[in-house]
Amino acid sequence: MSAPNLKQMGDTTGTLIEHLGMTFSEASGQRVVAHMPVERRVQQPMGLLHGGASVALAETVASLGASLNVAERGMVAVGLEINANHLRGVSGGSVTATGTPIFQGRSTEVWQIELVDERGKLVCTSRCTLAIIPAPAAPPTPG
């Protein structure tokens, strides 16, 4: 991901993105690829990847991609609705999320996100609807 695209996310220090260990290898308004380690902090008590962590990764991917689409208009994207189908358990390694837009409108975008394990097996499929809103005057400061 290029430096300008990373800056679009703002400071991720102390955010859920940092806490869950998310990293990004590609980011544009047409495709975002992110990775998350499957470690204890993202597992449910039985040792499998928690569905909420998968959904957090999916929404992060969609929000970043949609925000990149509308940044030049002084807008950002925020999640309105997300659904997910958890198809396979993962107990270690990492997952990779790839998101692409399936609708790009003036006030909403809809993104499809697929999470795969290290073997390329589909773990979760998700769809996220995002609202396009004016960007805040200044990003919030960590604290």
Annotated domain spans of the chain: 3-134
Q: How far is CA 89 from CA 31, 60, 128, 140, in A?
A: 25, 21, 21, 35
- Grade residue 13 by pLDDT with cuts at 50, 70 and 90: confident
CATH code, 3-134:
3.10.129.10
Write the pLDDT tens digit of every residue in 82-124: 999 999 999 999 999 999 999 999 999 999 999 999 999 999 9
In this model, does residue 7 exceed pLDDT 90? no
Instruction: Please pick, among 59, 81, 109, 118, the residue that the annotation labels catalytic.
Output: 59
pTM equals: 0.91
81 has catalytic annotation: no
